[in-house]
Chain A
Amino acid sequence: MLFWVIAAILTLGASLAVLLPLAAGAKGASSSGDHDLEVYRDQLSELDRDAGRGLIQPAEAAEARAEIARRILRLDNADTAGQASAGQASVTVRLVATVAVLAVPLVSWGVYSQIGSPDLPAQPLSARLAKNPADSSVDELVARAEAHLAANPSDGRGWDVLAPVYLRMQRFSDAVAAYRNAIRLDGDSAVRQAGLGEAIAGAAGGIVSADAQDAFEAALKLDPANAKASFYLAVALAQEGRNKEAATAWQAMLGTLPQDSPWRSAVEQALAKSASPEVASGAAAKGPDASDVDAASSLSPQDREAMINTMVAGLDEKLRQNPRDPEGWMRLVRSYVVLGKADQAREALARAIAVFGAGSDEAKKFTAFAASLGLTATE
């Protein structure tokens, strides 16, 4: 409502700017000749000053004075010649004036009604953050925490709380930075190092890189019983093709993990997959990202499967829209293999090959990749 009042006032003001001069009486007009005369007079006085100061020679000054005088004379002639058209068609004047006055509200309200969003209030971030936390979404809570940390960047606890949230939200590089800050400010802990490792791996698309391994090893040094670190180090082994060692490591974990540990099911799954050795390399790392499987592992089995299926379906959909993504295709094929859906894996493989053409380099790569997963294209 307030907006409409302001808009109306603004329109009124703008219309008045047009209306008032039209309504006011005509002021006495000076012909342009008067203006020119002023300039020439000023030139003459300036000439006198320059001559007085000795900036120009007397002879030059005299010459220049004569020239300006000639211009003034010419001015008089021109002025008498150009005094013809004065009072003119008042109908036209009235028409132009009317159109002008009407144009302001018509154009502005017309255009604004097409492109404006009058019902949408301004939403400054601070106002949104000041809302009751219970009404806020996770995103808003994160934004609030970020605002807090921006103001107090040395609040280690804050980073510590935020880091795992980032990880859940798959904002991996933010998670890496947050874990690093937490470690820097609040000191090392196994949980933080393991989280850091997971974040680095997540940022690298699930590959447990050397950096990530360093972090996991640091975590194990601090707490040899850290399940996450042990689990991912085994994943790293599997990714390097050392499946037996990976399986041994997971077996060892099953021996030590408490019965109610959420990690049990993840380890069992990984083991089950490593039993069919060709897919072990992709086990937990690709398709749904490791962290998703992790997140999923705390859900009920039905929910977990639903979540993984949704993500794979999402990837499938994305590739339909944007098919020239060899990496994506490989991830999809592997995901289906991991989920045990061999038919769909084969179908995805066929589609991938079709996109790039049967003879292409990519197609060869796909075939080789599928073979490494124990999958053969049905041709």
Chain B
Amino acid sequence: MTRKQKRLSVIAGGLTFLGAATGLTFYALGQKASYFYMPADLTTASVQPGQRIRLGGLVEKGTIQRGQGATVGFSVTDTHKSVKVTYTGILPDLFREEQGVITEGSFGPDGVFVADSVLAKHDERYMPKEVADGLKAKGVWQESKSE
């Protein structure tokens, strides 16, 4: 191999590598990213059972049920629709009725959302961004400057 060929092969190798990495990245983005929905969005979007999504909204008042063991059931609502969620584990410290929450998981065949992680807003002033945007879009929540 001449020097030029050598250099070309190095460049070709590098490009192939970068191409493969780029392909992998976009494949992974398509497969592994989870979309965020509010309960009312689910009527229009087709979400298959088993598909990972993030579901956000408010914890509906009076729906928190502590079942056997550490499993908790509650409903997430955007005041238009609500979705039943079950979660096994320790709820975050700030999990309360009528507070913003984001759950991540997938729908079971029975239409109940099985969450494997639950995030609640983390201080007085902070509402999960997605939930706040979603609620604002639905005209439910308004920003208030009052402390």
Q: Do A and B bind each other?
A: yes
| B31 → chain A closest CB, angstroms | 41
The tally of residues in B whose CB lies under 8 Å from a CB in A reads: 3
0/1 interface trace, chain B 28-45, chain A, CB 8 Å (1 if under): 000000000000000000
Q: Which of A294-329 contact B (CB under 8 A)?
A: 318, 322, 324
Overall SS of chain A's interface: loop
User: With an 8 A cutoff between CB atoms, is B144 at the interface?
Assistant: yes
0/1 interface trace, chain A 120-144, chain B, CB 8 Å (1 if under): 0000000000000000000000000
0/1 interface trace, chain B 108-145, chain A, CB 8 Å (1 if under): 00000000000000000000000000000000001010
Kindly list chain A residues whose C-beta atoms are within 8 Å of the C-beta of B142.
324
| A364 → chain B closest CB, angstroms | 14
| B78 → chain A closest CB, angstroms | 14
Closest B residue to A318 by beta carbon equals B146
Closest A residue to B141 by beta carbon equals A324
| B100 → chain A closest CB, angstroms | 16
User: How far, in angstroms, from A305 to B146 measured CA to CA in the complex?
Assistant: 27
User: How far, in angstroms, from A62 to B146 measured CA to CA in the complex?
Assistant: 76
Kindly list chain B residues whose C-beta atoms are within 8 Å of the C-beta of A324.
142
Kindly list chain A residues whose C-beta atoms are within 8 Å of the C-beta of B144.
322
User: How far, in angstroms, from A322 to B144 measured CA to CA in the complex?
Assistant: 7
| A361 → chain B closest CB, angstroms | 8
User: How far, in angstroms, from A304 to B144 measured CA to CA in the complex?
Assistant: 32
Kindly list chain B residues whose C-beta atoms are within 8 Å of the C-beta of A322.
144, 146
User: How far, in angstroms, from A353 to B143 measured CA to CA in the complex?
Assistant: 20
Closest B residue to A361 by beta carbon equals B79
Kindly list chain A residues whose C-beta atoms are within 8 Å of the C-beta of B146.
318, 322
Closest B residue to A323 by beta carbon equals B142
Q: Which of A97-133 contact B (CB under 8 A)?
A: none
| B73 → chain A closest CB, angstroms | 23
Closest A residue to B79 by beta carbon equals A361
Closest A residue to B140 by beta carbon equals A324
Closest A residue to B142 by beta carbon equals A324
| A339 → chain B closest CB, angstroms | 24
User: How far, in angstroms, from A331 to B142 measured CA to CA in the complex?
Assistant: 20
User: How far, in angstroms, from A377 to B142 measured CA to CA in the complex?
Assistant: 27
User: How far, in angstroms, from A322 to B146 measured CA to CA in the complex?
Assistant: 9
Closest A residue to B139 by beta carbon equals A324
0/1 interface trace, chain A 72-110, chain B, CB 8 Å (1 if under): 000000000000000000000000000000000000000
User: How far, in angstroms, from A318 to B147 measured CA to CA in the complex?
Assistant: 12
| B103 → chain A closest CB, angstroms | 24
| B56 → chain A closest CB, angstroms | 20
User: How far, in angstroms, from A128 to B146 measured CA to CA in the complex?
Assistant: 28
| A112 → chain B closest CB, angstroms | 30
User: How far, in angstroms, from A318 to B144 measured CA to CA in the complex?
Assistant: 11
| A101 → chain B closest CB, angstroms | 46
Closest B residue to A321 by beta carbon equals B146
| B94 → chain A closest CB, angstroms | 16
User: How far, in angstroms, from A324 to B146 measured CA to CA in the complex?
Assistant: 13
0/1 interface trace, chain A 318-350, chain B, CB 8 Å (1 if under): 100010100000000000000000000000000
User: How far, in angstroms, from A234 to B135 measured CA to CA in the complex?
Assistant: 41
User: How far, in angstroms, from A322 to B143 measured CA to CA in the complex?
Assistant: 10
User: How far, in angstroms, from A324 to B79 measured CA to CA in the complex?
Assistant: 14
| B146 → chain A closest CB, angstroms | 6
4 closest A-B pairs (Cβ-Cβ)?
A322-B144, A324-B142, A322-B146, A318-B146
- Chosen A-B contacts, 4 in total, with CB atoms closer than 8 Å, are A318-B146, A322-B144, A322-B146, A324-B142
